[in-house]
């Protein structure tokens, strides 16, 4: 298992460099949106780890026109050519409602996108020149078709162009919010090599959980990793341990070592 | 997710029966209010929620984008509707947060490296210069600046720059 951390901007450069210095981090996952205005060679020279992967947050590939996607992919492609990432990942998200931008990404209505997803994703993959790994969403409510069956169908039809970036804690948040069992994703994630994990919390006085990425990994998530992910481990398998808020060296390192320990025991 | 759910994201009210609308409102407020107004604690939250909901209706009616300029729209709203006196936050602080949001969201206005935002109202004359990070290891910068070579029009405005040259600036006013 290659263990990674998410490099989101110069703001968390130092803590990632320090974590890498401890010898427990194999690669960093670059939130490439925040790096596209840099010279790719500068990014390569500044890498705090030996290897890297790319995570795209704001491609809007389901909503943006072809011209816009061409312009964005040109920039990402230059970075791919120079940095040779382990994988490129993206989100199946909704960013606009009636022309108004949400403050941050929302989950799509799967029944609404199922008719055109494959064409859009195929185009996006062709522009980037690689397979794209799509992250599963920490849903708030059940849908019909479910997110799981949506992924099942698109991955069956898009084989070489798409796969899942399986976010373990997102699946657990989804389970807590909707009752859909995270373990049911096994038939999907047994065929991928790329995983995410992060902290989550209850949203105020609501009954919902949010993928807050601001705290330690839950014991429920660790148990899931032990039971389902450890047996799938190969030399190419990756797992990014995400922190976006309350970024603190010691607690992040504790999570990294705890999860690395699960894989060493096998 | 239905269209009504997405609509609820913008218009959800605290205490609504449907808990997911409440969740949207909770998350939107925690992002939006902090982005525009900064941290608000304790009993003041409910007071600012009232102000916020009034502004949110204004923003919804005018189809304002929920992007970095929302803070600038907020200042204009407080000024136009004589709500500035009700706020404990200084207008300069709201302006500063708008600039801060822009310089850290580098995927916004990808080809521009600098942003000047101005507030020129009565006794208040403020200009902030937000510059995006120019190297993966270097932080972005935010400075209060004095413009000597150009004059700033009255009101709230901004200009985006590829390179930092203040000649031939065309100021966009809200």
**pLDDT value at position A76?**
98
pLDDT digits (tens), chain B, 174 positions? 566 667 666 655 544 445 556 566 666 666 777 778 887 777 777 777 778 778 877 887 888 877 889 899 999 999 888 877 777 788 899 999 999 999 998 888 999 999 999 999 888 889 999 999 999 999 999 999 887 767 788 899 999 999 988 777 788 888
**Nearest CB neighbour to A100, from listed B19, B63, B139:** B63
Assess B10–A contact: CB distance below 8 Å, yes or no: yes
Using a CB-CB cut-off of 8 Å, the residues of chain A touching B65 are: 100-101
Q: Which of A66-70, A172-176, A242-246 bottoms out in mean pLDDT, i.e. has the lowest?
A: A242-246
Q: Give the nearest chain A residue to B62 (CA atoms).
A: A100
Q: Give the residue, B85 or A259, on which the prediction is more confident.
A: A259
Looking at beta carbons, which pairs linking A109-114 to residues 24 or more positions away fall under 8 Å? Answer: A109/A143, A109/B1, A109/B2, A110/A143, A110/A145, A110/A146, A110/A147, A110/A150, A111/A143, A111/A144, A111/A145, A113/A62, A114/A145, A114/A150, A114/A153
- pLDDT exceeds 90 at position A49: yes
Q: What number of C-beta contacts closer than 8 Å exist between A and B?
A: 93
Using a CB-CB cut-off of 8 Å, the residues of chain A touching B9 are: 97, 102, 106
Residues A76, A129: contact at Cβ < 8 Å?
no
Residue B69 CA to residue B168 CA, distance in Å, equals 23
**pLDDT value at position B10?**
60
**pLDDT value at position A169?**
97
- Contact (CB<8Å) A97/B132: no
CA distances from B97 to A9, A181, B41 (A): 18, 41, 18
**pLDDT value at position B15?**
47
Average pLDDT of the segment spanning A50-59: 96
What is the model's pTM?
0.89
Assess A29–B contact: CB distance below 8 Å, yes or no: no
**pLDDT value at position B28?**
67
- Contact (CB<8Å) B137/A104: no
**pLDDT value at position B19?**
56
Q: Is the ipTM of this complex over 0.90?
A: no
**Nearest CB neighbour to B26, from listed A11, A141, A204:** A204
Candidates B5, B18, B23, B71, partner chain A, best to mutate (most A CBs within 10 A): B23
- Contact (CB<8Å) A10/B107: no
Q: Give the residue, B20 or A106, on which the prediction is more confident.
A: A106
Residue B38 CA to residue A196 CA, distance in Å, equals 31
Average pLDDT of the segment spanning A74-92: 98
Nearest Cα neighbor of B24 from A61, A147, A107, A171 is A107
**pLDDT value at position B11?**
58
- pLDDT exceeds 90 at position A186: yes
Using a CB-CB cut-off of 8 Å, the residues of chain A touching B63 are: 99-100
- Contact partners, residue A179, CB within 8 Å, separation at least 6: A142
Candidates B1, B22, B70, partner chain A, best to mutate (most A CBs within 10 A): B1
Q: Pairing relation of β-strands A2-7 and A238-241?
A: parallel
Residue A81 CA to residue A243 CA, distance in Å, equals 27
**pLDDT value at position B14?**
45
- Contact (CB<8Å) B23/A106: no
Candidates A201, A206, A210, A214, partner chain B, best to mutate (most B CBs within 10 A): A206
Using a CB-CB cut-off of 8 Å, the residues of chain A touching B32 are: 103
Percent residues over pLDDT 90 in chain A? 84
Q: Is the dihedral of CA A120, A124, A127, A131 positive or negative?
A: negative
**pLDDT value at position B27?**
64
**pLDDT value at position B154?**
87
- pLDDT exceeds 70 at position A142: yes
Assess A210–B contact: CB distance below 8 Å, yes or no: yes
Average pLDDT of the segment spanning A45-66: 96
Assess B1–A contact: CB distance below 8 Å, yes or no: yes
Give SS3 for A100.
strand
Candidates A39, A48, A91, A100, partner chain B, best to mutate (most B CBs within 10 A): A100
């Amino acid at each position: 298992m290659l263990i990674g951390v998410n490099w989101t901007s110069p703001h968390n450069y130092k803590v990632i460099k320090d974590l890498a210095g401890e010898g427990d981090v194999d690669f960093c996952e670059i939130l490439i949106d925040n790096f596209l205005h840099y010279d790719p060679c500068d990014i390569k020279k500044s890498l705090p780890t030996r290897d890297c992967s790319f995570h795209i947050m704001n491609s809007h590939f389901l909503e943006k026109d072809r011209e816009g996607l061409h312009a964005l992919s040109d920039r990402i492609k230059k970075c791919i050519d120079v940095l040779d990432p382990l994988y490129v990942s993206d989100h199946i998200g909704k960013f606009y409602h009636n022309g108004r931008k949400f403050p941050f990404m929302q989950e799509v209505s799967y029944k609404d996108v199922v008719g055109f997803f494959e064409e859009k994703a195929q185009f996006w993959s062709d522009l980037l020149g690689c397979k794209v790994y799509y992250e599963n969403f920490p849903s708030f409510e059940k849908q019909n078709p479910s997110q799981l069956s949506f992924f099942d169908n698109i991955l069956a039809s898009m084989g070489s162009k798409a796969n899942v970036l399986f976010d373990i804690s997102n699946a657990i948040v989804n389970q807590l919010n909707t009752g859909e069992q995270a373990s049911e994703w096994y038939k999907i994630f047994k065929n991928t090599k790329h995983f995410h994990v992060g902290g989550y919390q209850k949203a105020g006085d609501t009954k919902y959980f949010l993928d807050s990425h601001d705290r330690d990994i839950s014991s429920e998530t660790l148990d899931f990793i032990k039971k389902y992910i450890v047996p799938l481990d190969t030399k190419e398998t990756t797992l990014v341990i995400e922190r976006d808020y309350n970024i603190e060296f010691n607690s992040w390192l504790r999570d990294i070592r705890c999860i690395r320990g699960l894989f060493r025991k096998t | 997710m239905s269209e009504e759910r997405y609509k609820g994201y913008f218009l959800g009210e605290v205490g609504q029966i449907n808990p997911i609308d409440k969740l949207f409102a909770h998350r939107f407020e925690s992002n939006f209010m902090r982005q525009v107004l900064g941290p608000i604690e304790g009993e003041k939250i409910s007071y600012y929620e009232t102000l916020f909901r009034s502004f949110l209706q204004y923003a919804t009616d005018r189809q304002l984008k929920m992007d970095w300029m929302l803070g600038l729209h907020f200042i204009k709203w407080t000024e136009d509707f004589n709500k500035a006196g009700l706020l404990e936050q200084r207008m300069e602080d709201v302006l500063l947060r708008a600039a801060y949001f822009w310089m850290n969201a580098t995927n916004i206005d990808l080809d521009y490296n600098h942003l000047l935002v101005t507030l020129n109202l009565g006794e208040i004359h403020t200009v902030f210069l937000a510059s995006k990070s120019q190297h993966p290891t270097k932080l972005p910068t935010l400075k209060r600046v004095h413009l000597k070579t150009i004059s700033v029009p009255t009101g709230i405005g901004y200009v985006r720059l590829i390179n930092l040259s203040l000649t031939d600036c065309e100021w966009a006013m809200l």
